Amino acid sequence: MKFCIFGGGSIGGLLAAGLKKIGVEVTVVARGAQMEAIQKDGLRIIKADGEHEICQLECTDDTNSLGEQDFLFLTIKSPALLPSLDKICPLVGKNTTVITCMNGIPHWYFHKIGNKFENSKIRSLDPNNIIDKVISPEKIVGAVVYPASTIVEPGIIRHISGNRFSLGEPSGLSTERLNYLSNNLKIAGFKAPMQKNIRDEIWLKLIGNLSFNPISALTGATLEEICNNEGTEKIVRKMMSEAKIIAEKLGARISISLDKRIDGARKVGAHKTSMLQDIEARKPIEIDSILFAVKELGELTEVNTPQIDTILSLISQKAQLLNCL
């Protein structure tokens, strides 16, 4: 079986190194300095306990040379998906399974959802159905990614915490490909539970991302600082509440209370969210999948989202001014 990790960043690197260790045929698609470093010296993983591990990986930016893959992990950020379709296309064949490892609402969300919203489209993610034409929803296995990691410098990744990749078919069924993926990731040292309703877990992570990420990017505050400030904590709670109502109207269930979700973020401590890090680095930020899409789903379900709308307007303007769209 041929595995490809499309996106050689911190999450893609962790996946590739883990799979390579167990003898899986895996290739990383990366670019620039990260690709050059991996090609020259391999990928170095700095584990949470300080131990270093070097993994020699096949790495390229030429997807035409790789051909169709059996399993394709998309470990890029959501703003990069549409611009990357030309490079993704050669990797996708009739029997390719595509695992979406991106934050927020995925383009396939309504595929086999099993209710009145079946096959609805999310215009803010795929306005012209371009993604669907390259990556048809039937090929998808959903994933929710929990590891915290960062690129220290090209070719070097620091794994801070977490090793869970929750997996699930859009239909909720237990399939042969889902079991195969889960088993391989477990052998590679990851937690890879198979979820009957992957959308529940998408929302559980999303209510944190859609609130903490833009507030941190607007204020420069860490998770701990946001949670311990009465004003920003109140905004977080309102945004989460709006999103929770939307999720429930769409048939999803968020299994923990908002208090517990906020307390969990507080315990992470002085951590900068990925959106704040991207703003500081002047990189594109993930607002389409975690904010615009949720606003659109609010309109679909007739749920008012005044707090989400306000924060979306503010972070959109900041991103535009800093050229981070």
Same-domain check for residues 149 and 274: no
CB 213 within 8 A of CB 286: yes
Dmax (CA) for the chain in angstroms is 54
The span from the CA of 312 to the CA of 292, in Å, is 7
Query: DSSP E strands: which ranges in the chain?
Result: 2-6, 25-29, 43-46, 52-55, 58-60, 71-74, 97-100, 140-145, 148-153, 156-161, 165-168
The pLDDT of residue 275: 96
Same-domain check for residues 213 and 305: yes
Average pLDDT, the chain: 96
The predicted-structure confidence for 289-302, as pLDDT tens digits, reads as follows 999 999 999 999 99
Name the pLDDT band for 231 (thresholds 50, 70, 90): very high
The pLDDT of residue 271: 86
Residue 136 domain boundaries: 2-196
> Facing residues of 149 across strands?
159
Same-domain check for residues 229 and 91: no
Same-domain check for residues 35 and 155: yes
Same-domain check for residues 158 and 40: yes
Same-domain check for residues 179 and 247: no
Same-domain check for residues 48 and 92: yes
The pLDDT of residue 180: 98
Share of the chain above pLDDT 70, in %: 100
Active site residue 21: no
Q: Per-residue pLDDT averaged across 130-138, rounded?
A: 95
Question: Pick the catalytic residue: 112, 205, 249, 283?
Answer: 205
Do the domain assignments include residue 187? yes
CATH of the domain at 224: 1.10.1040.10
CATH of the domain at 69: 3.40.50.720
Q: Per-residue pLDDT averaged across 253-280, rounded?
A: 94
β-strands 52-55, 43-46: how paired?
Answer: antiparallel
The pLDDT of residue 21: 95
Q: Per-residue pLDDT averaged across 290-317, rounded?
A: 98
Q: Per-residue pLDDT averaged across 84-97, rounded?
A: 98
Model confidence at 48: pLDDT above 90: no
* Closest C-alpha to 202, from 305, 288, 298, 105: 105
The pLDDT of residue 23: 96
pTM: 0.96
The span from the CA of 94 to the CA of 79, in Å, is 26
* Closest C-alpha to 140, from 119, 166, 163, 171: 171
Q: Per-residue pLDDT averaged across 304-312, rounded?
A: 98
Same-domain check for residues 27 and 172: yes
Q: Per-residue pLDDT averaged across 261-286, rounded?
A: 93
The residues, any chain, with a CB within 8 Å of residue 202's CB and separated by 6 or more, are: 104, 105, 106, 109, 142, 144, 252
Among the three residues 196, 231, 246, which one is the final residue of a domain in this structure?
196
Same-domain check for residues 191 and 241: no
Among the three residues 196, 214, 243, which one is the final residue of a domain in this structure?
196
The count of domains in the chain is: 2
Among the three residues 172, 196, 220, which one is the final residue of a domain in this structure?
196
The pLDDT of residue 285: 96
Q: Per-residue pLDDT averaged across 93-97, rounded?
A: 97
